[in-house]
Structure 1
Amino acid sequence: MTPRTSDLVPGPDSDRRSGGNRFAAGLAGLLPPDELARALTAGGRWQPYPTVNQRPAWTAVDQDFGKRLLAEVENEHAAPWPELTASGYLRFSVDGNRQLFETPYLQRRDRLARTVLATALATSPADRARYLLSAIDGIWLLCEESSWCFPAHEPRPLPDQQAPTLDLFAAETGALLAYAASVLGPVLRTEHPMVADRINREVRARVLLPYRDAAETFWYDAGNNWNPWIHSNVLAAALLVESDSSGLVATVLRILRGLDHYLAHVPADGGCDEGITYWWCAGATLFECMEILYAATAGTFDAFALPLLGRIARYPVVAHIGGPWHVNFADGFALPRPGTVVPGLLHRFGRAVGDSDVIAHARALAGPFGRCPMPVTPGASLGRSLGVLFDADWAATSVDDFPYPAQAWMPDTEVLVAREHPGSATGLFLAAKAGHNAENHNHNDVGNWIVAHDGVPVIIDVGVGNYTARTFSDERYDIWTMRSSYHNLPTVDGVEQAHGAAHRAAQVVATVDRAGAELRLDLGPAYPSAAGVRSWSRSVRLQRDGDEPWIGVDDQWDLDRDPDELALHLMTATPARCDAPGVLTIGPLLARFDHDRFDARIETVDLTDDLLTRVWGRAVHRVTLTARTAGRAGSHRLLISAAETSQPSPRSAPPTARRDQ
């Protein structure tokens, strides 16, 4: 009998927090190779989810999800499958365009995943037969593709079929086909054995053999999302397809060594310096690796007591603002794309590590993001969709309230978050970062901060637009969204922060207590010598104690010269108005500045990139506070409060911080 997903991981009441010394040798040393070999399901026989012939399991799937998915598949059933062309592949090497090829590439895979599910969910044999043929069309099209690798990740303008490149999406394609074969397997093997054989052959040739036989690649020992993202898909494909037991064990051992490399880079606080969007491709895929191995060894391989896993699971709780909104430092999206957030997966992660806040947060996410992954997207792949659909505990739970912790300080990632009202999205919310300018998916943003009100961002990090050839090239920091002058940061004589690990925050101190939370840092080292910054002390504080909560941003600078221009920048989601001297109205907020020494200029930044317009609409806005007389030493306070709250002027504001802890 196929186990429920809820049987594959420990329940929420399990005490998973004490790891002891079990992990001293890493994941690869958790089980001796011979014991791992005995525990692993025999090659090619792992069956984590019901097959299409196990009708009671599929008729029990959420009926609302089934109706919506079947309607969508029926609407596209007669339409031609998206076309992939050599000229589309070449466009990346010609002008850097990624979307021309990537869009139909992903549409093919989304459609195949939906069609596989529709085949299993269809209630009539005639509909199942129709959808099966459509699924076979999709399977065959993917098997006929010259490459499963994105053009942006391929070292040649066009791929070489004899030397396949294993990237993120080649690995995902392998797992997609392997899961499709797992669900449709009994029918394929009896009615279309050549299709089943083709899947096995192509997955082995394009994913398993390149992974196992190639020299270690740049991502194998990396600390970014490539490592667990690829490994989670290779692991699933190997367990579902690899018929040679010795080959399977060798693959799993190599995966464990690779994941140990990843864990060695993960901040000890469990943070994700790539931002919340990439947590779903990094922390979430790491969990999937652990969950798959737990299931495939009948619980013998159990890494969920590793303390770092528990801290990784908490990151989405920490990075949450309110409703669908999230802190989006680096290449993140303040409003995640549909399919990226899979609440059911996070619910399983919370149960596995025994964290009630993570469990509650996942249940609350089901409100804005839905209980089922619909439509199936690359963020909610076929494997993730199956995991949600056959999780009995998730199906039985109800939507919850977000836990909304009062504050959190991640000392290794160097990110602070705090909210005015613990347990609620109402009022002020602050996120601030220190860090350095060589982080994964880095923006030049040391000392940046975000303010939200009632769960919605107001003073913002704009985020990132569509990727092009420039995005990961020497021209990355020519893109305006990556530059410090389009973050909530200063410039001196027009000089912005510079890229590189040496350009980092110094003297970083965080204070959190019942009265509020504060991050202090020197962001001077983030600037190149041309800026002449000896030091730039910044304090960002949320003060919740008292009748008039506020957020204060205090800057104190020491330069090596009297600059011609000194400016402080603010990026806002709504237009700012200067209704009175020294008072900016920004949506529901008032921001008070020293109008005796600074002038305010407000400009609109038009948006044309569809990823940015989806989040912010047709424009964002930039406020520039320019010093009237820029001295080599000086200070400034920006004081932010809710518009209905009366606040003192910045020069007579309360002290910057309480440092009693």
Structure 2
Amino acid sequence: MPDSAFPRPPGELTSLLRDIRAAAADDAMPELGFSAYRDYFDTGNRIRYERRYFRRRARLAARAAQALLAPETDLGPLADTLWSVCDEYTWALPAHVRHSTDQDRGPEQCLDLFAAETAHTLAETVAALGDRLDRRVADRVRAEVERRVFVPYTDDRPLNWEGFGNNWEAVCAGATGMAALALLGGSPADTSRLAAMLDRSRRAMDRYLAGFGDDGGCAEGVDYWVYGFGYFVYFAEALREHTGEDLLDSAKVAQIAAFPHRVALGGGAYAPFSDASERPWLPAGLLTRLAERFGTPPARVVPSLHDDHCYRWGHLSRTLAWFRPGTPATTAEATSHLPDLAWVVHRGRFAFAAKGGHNDEPHNHNDLGHFVLHTRGQSVLDDLGAGEYTAGYFGPDRYDRLHPSARGHSVPVIDGQVQLPGADRTAKVLLFHDDGDTIRFDLDLTSAYDVPGLRSLIRRFRWWPHGRLELTDEIDTERDLPLEELFISRREPVPATGSADWDGLVTLTHNCPQTSVSLETTHDHQARPDSVYRLTCTTVAPAGQSSHRFVFTLT
């Protein structure tokens, strides 16, 4: 990011600039009073407080960007916004303040994702504006960043998220490291502190990268790839500018950079496994820099300011600083196999995705053997992605909720028992083969269940790119076991004897003697009503070996 201003924005950013001007002119600055703060602790609801919090961050990011884009901007409104953010009781979210207890610190010194991001926003804004900003405001910002973020980060005691090995490592360490780069280094003492903080951030980045296999797959899904890997890249490029060290110069990092393109379904849709979404936004600046460094596809769409409901400065500022229009240099592969992640994705006129893995992944769903069928721009056999984040969603009753539970995935229920969570609940890959005409993907799902008498459960996928999937579950059991095959969609299926139809987009034929359709209304990640249809095909797996075949045809 430039020290004083962004480069002249290309014409493709016109709509984003319009969003920034409108948000900067908005005088709404919701209060974060005690009644809002206590809501999470009293009810477990996160979204009511967080909507207020992120509306404040929208105004902060927009006014900071406007000030750097247009030197003639009156900085009075921005100064008021900076002052107001410094007044906040804590920069962390109520759901995260427990992370400060390991250092015996209060909520105001909780260094979570959003405290780190806030420090990054404030630090780069103050540093870039320099003498343009009232000294009293700048001094207060520096003091609050120091007290709330730099003090806990320079404490020798481990922070609660150190060791997570997921997006927290990259975001917290990356945003804090960039804040330090912006504010420190003006004196010998500052230089020493900066070096120590950068070392801590490097160690966090090592742990973050260790969370990936060599295939570069992100078990948390594309949304969290954007979040964690985005901040990894932003920090890496800031570090390279400061020291010449290049954290991106790695074969593994190159594989991670390609991840979203390998799990794309087409038309802006992506495999939404785990707590992901089918249509995540991808920051245009991030994609531009990755295209320059690794030859991955550049940004095709410049997102709106409001596509990131958290209004993160890292994404916005690097889009303003880095985005350049480009054209893809290579043709994307039709089939992607990520062996460490155990995902298979095929894209073309029709798209198919299936997954193995284990049931203790980051943002885990109990979904071994789950699959997606995508046609005409829609995922008909669907993955529900993330549900509404509440206290319970990340608590011991997580799998009582539809989105992460096996009941919300197209996987078998055996003798009334669903898949169980745990790292030992693993899908063993028996076969992956793609001969250009047929994709074969076989998984041993036996360990996902705890059913007396179940000796083995093998799920076999046979996918033809012209739009045909044959799914066969081979079961070996010591006794007769009731078997329910679940198929999940947000479209209502119409069942008939031996068949089902989803609006003429996908049809199913099967040999189960009974079928039923149930509707469950829940809430999606943004707390909007989410209607989910579950087609249940019921039969019996007799003692011994049996095969249960389901054929899907896409149009």
* TM-score interval, normalised by the smaller of the two chains: over 0.9
Alignment of 1:154-303 (within 5 A): 154-155=97-98, 161=106, 164-188=109-133, 192-243=134-185, 244-297=190-243, 300-303=244-247
Deviation of 1:162 after TM superposition, in Å, equals 8.3
Match in the other structure for 1:622: 534
The CA deviation at 1:385 is 1.7
Distance 1:240 1:156 in 2: 25
Show the counterpart of 1:585: 501
**Residue number in structure 2 paired with 1:328:** 272
Normalising by structure 1, we get a TM-score of 0.78
Aligned residue among 149, 170, 186 for 2:92: 149
Name the structure 2 match of 1:542.
Answer: 463
Q: Which residue of structure 2 aligns with residue 18 of structure 1?
A: none
User: What is the CA–CA distance in structure 2 between the aligned matches of 1:608 and 1:412, rounded to whole Å?
Assistant: 31
What pairs up with 1:16-415 in 2 under 5 angstroms? 48-51=1-4, 57=8, 62-74=13-25, 76-77=26-27, 79=28, 81-122=29-70, 125=72, 128-129=73-74, 132-155=75-98, 161=106, 164-188=109-133, 192-243=134-185, 244-297=190-243, 300-336=244-280, 340-352=281-293, 354-355=294-295, 358-359=296-297, 362-364=298-300, 366=301, 371=302, 373-375=304-306, 377=308, 381-391=312-322, 394-397=323-326, 403-415=331-343
Report the Cα offset of residue 404 of structure 1.
Answer: 4.3
Q: Cα–Cα, structure 1 residues 59 and 198, in superposed 2: closer, same or farther, change >3 Å?
A: farther
Check conservation: 2:270, 2:279, Cα contact below 8 A.
yes
Q: Is 2:443–2:459's contact at 8 Å kept on the other side of the alignment? A: yes
Query: How big is the shift at 1:468?
Result: 0.6
What is the CA deviation profile of residues 577-620 of structure 1, one whole-angstrom value per residue up to 9, with x for unaligned ones? 13x5322211343433333x43221222224446375xxx7522
Does the aligned pair in 2 maintain the 1:204–1:242 contact within 8 Å?
no
Decide whether aligned partners of structure 1 residues 566 and 375 sit closer, same or farther in structure 2, where only a CA change above 3 A counts.
closer
Offset at 1:446?
A: 0.9
Q: Distance in 2 between matches of 1:608 and 1:303?
A: 39
Deviation at 1:376, TM superposition (A): 7.3
Q: Does 1:603 align with 2:518?
A: yes
Distance 1:609 1:241 in 2: 39
Gaps of 5+ in 2: none
Larger CA Rg, structure 1 vs 2: 1
Moved more, 269-278 or 179-188: 179-188
Assess, with a 3 A threshold, how the Cα gap between structure 1 residues 148 and 228 changes in structure 2: closer, same or farther: same
Assess, with a 3 A threshold, how the Cα gap between structure 1 residues 376 and 509 changes in structure 2: closer, same or farther: closer
Contact 2:507 2:553 in 1 (8 A): yes
CA contact (8 A) 1:179 1:383 kept: no
Match of 1:451 among 363, 369, 373: 373
| Equivalent in 466, 469, 473 of residue 551 of structure 1 | 469
Give a deviation string over 1:154-184, Cα, whole Å, max 9, x none.
1299996587111111101100111221332
**Could you say which structure has the greater relative contact order, defined with CA pairs below 8 angstroms and 6 or more residues apart?**
1
Deviation per CA, 1:301-342, whole angstroms, max 9, x where unpaired?
A: 123331000000011101211223211111111122xxx421
Residue 84 of structure 1: CA displacement? 0.2
Could you say if the C-alpha distance between residues 387 and 209 of structure 1 is closer, same or farther in structure 2, counting changes exceeding 3 Å?
same
Identical residues among aligned pairs (%)? 30
Q: Residue 215 of structure 2 contacts residue 339 of structure 2 at CA under 8 Å; is this kept in 1?
A: yes
State the 1:237 CA deviation: 0.3
Structure with greater strand share of residues:
2
| Residue deviations 1:488-539 (CA, integer Å, cap 9, x gap) | 0000121101111111112432112211322211101001245x42110001
Change (3 A) 1:459 1:260: same
CA distance in 1: counterparts of 2:131 and 2:287, whole angstroms? 31
The counterpart of 1:496, out of the listed 418, 428, 432, is 418
Which digits, 9 at most, give the CA deviation of each residue in 1:344-363, with x for residues without a partner? 312211321x22xx22xx33
Output the aligned Cα RMSD. Answer: 2.6
Shift of 1:69: 2.5
Q: Of 516, 533, 558, which residue of structure 1 is paired with 2:454?
A: 533
Distance 1:390 1:162 in 2: 33
Structure 1 183/268 Cα, relative in aligned 2: closer, same or farther at 3 Å? same
